[in-house]
């Protein structure tokens, strides 16, 4: 939750204003005291998706690292170089 808020460059108050909830609620989500549910969970998922930030309101865990990884460049043969030095075919 905190990672999503920081990704959006919002304070707790700004995020709570956008969601129509209290700042204390956002704080409680971030500390794990409570999980977003109902309309708040749905809104957070939509906001995260549109911001290009992987987020699961159910798990309460951000997946931003995966969402922000750049794709490996393609070779002339249509293969991708990977961080392990290998090449993998890319299907269209």
Q: Is residue 15 part of a domain?
A: yes
What is the value of pTM for the model shown?
0.59
Measure the CA–CA gap between 27 and 19, rounded to whole angstroms: 13
Q: Is residue 81 part of a domain?
A: no
What confidence category does residue 83 fall into, taking pLDDT thresholds of 50, 70 and 90? very low
pLDDT at 65 over 90: no
Q: Is residue 90 part of a domain?
A: no
pLDDT digit string, tens, across residues 1-57: 899 999 999 999 999 999 999 999 999 999 999 999 999 999 999 999 999 988 665
Measure the CA–CA gap between 61 and 69, rounded to whole angstroms: 17
Q: Is residue 88 part of a domain?
A: no
Q: Is residue 86 part of a domain?
A: no
The end-to-end CA distance of the chain, in Å, is 34
Instruction: Give the containing element (helix H, strand E) for 2.
Output: helix 2-7
pLDDT at 45 (0 to 100) = 92
Using the structure block, give the residue that is written with the tokens 């939509």.
46
Instruction: Give the containing element (helix H, strand E) for 3.
Output: helix 2-7
The domain that holds 30 is classified in CATH as: 1.10.260
**Structural domain boundaries enclosing 39:** 2-67
Measure the CA–CA gap between 39 and 70, rounded to whole angstroms: 32
Task: Tokens for 67, please give them.
Answer: 């969402």
Q: Is residue 83 part of a domain?
A: no
Domain count, the chain: 1
Give the SS3 label for residue 83: coil
Q: Is residue 23 part of a domain?
A: yes
pLDDT at 61 (0 to 100) = 43
Q: Is residue 29 part of a domain?
A: yes
């Amino acid at each position: 939750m905190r990672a999503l808020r920081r990704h959006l460059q919002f304070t707790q108050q700004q995020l709570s204003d956008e969601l129509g909830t209290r700042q204390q609620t956002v704080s409680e989500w971030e500390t794990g005291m409570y999980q977003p549910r109902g309309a708040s969970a749905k809104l957070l998922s939509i906001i995260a998706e549109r911001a290009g930030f992987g987020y699961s309101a159910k798990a309460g865990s951000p997946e931003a690292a995966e969402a922000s990884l750049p794709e490996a460049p393609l070779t002339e043969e249509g293969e991708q170089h990977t961080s392990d030095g290998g090449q993998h075919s890319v299907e269209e």
